Amino acid sequence: ANFSEQVVESFPSDISTGIYYGWACVGNGDVHKMVLSIGWNPFYKNIKKSVEAHIIHTFKQDFYGEILSIVITGYIRPEKNFDSLEALISAIQEDIEEAKRQLDSPDQLKLKEDNFFHLPESKIVNNH
């Protein structure tokens, strides 16, 4: 899930680029583990900073236009360039596995239940 340019610009300017982990919720649905990339994606030579969430869950349908709530709870590594697409994919898989390990800790699991993830009914879109 890619965040809009407006959302990216609202992130704190001093947040380090890199790969993070945490929790994500689409609409008022279930809370899932996620990996978050903040940066320039040097492999793709982006000229604008981006924020992209990879929710570690298989959804039955697209959720374009939905509200995506996230909580960043930890940092995995700095952003870096890769020599090949295969190396990038391998790093992403390692990041996902690291996020899963970290998020299974009792302290992290408590954050999954936070009231932050429960949207008021007026904010729910498309039954989520």
Contact 96, 35 (CB under 8 A): yes
Q: Locate 71 and state its tokens.
A: 């909580």
Beta strands in 48-125 (DSSP E): 50-55, 68-77
Task: Sheet with 50-55: list strands edge to edge.
Answer: 50-55, 31-39, 18-26, 68-77
Encode pLDDT of 7-18 as tens digits: 988 988 889 999
Question: Which residues are known catalytic residues?
Answer: 52
Encode pLDDT of 72-90 as tens digits: 999 999 999 889 999 999 9
Task: Please tell me the pTM assigned to this model.
Answer: 0.86
Number of separate domains in the chain = 1
Encode pLDDT of 96-126 as tens digits: 999 999 999 999 999 998 888 876 665 555 5
- Establish if 123 belongs to a structural domain: no
Q: Is the pLDDT of residue 30 over 80?
A: yes
Q: Locate 72 and state its tokens.
A: 């960043």
Structural domain including 16 reads: 5-117
CATH code, domain with 10: 2.40.30.30
- Establish if 49 belongs to a structural domain: yes
Cα–Cα dist 128/121, whole Å = 10
- Establish if 102 belongs to a structural domain: yes
Name the strand (E) or helix (H) holding 37: strand 31-39
pLDDT, residue 119, reads 64
Q: Could you tell me which residue, 53 or 115, shows the higher pLDDT?
A: 53
Q: How confident is the model at residue 94 (pLDDT cuts 50, 70, 90)?
A: very high
Q: Please give the C-alpha separations between residue 113 and each of 58, 75, 117, in angstroms, as whole numbers.
A: 20, 20, 8
Contact 79, 17 (CB under 8 A): yes
- Establish if 126 belongs to a structural domain: no
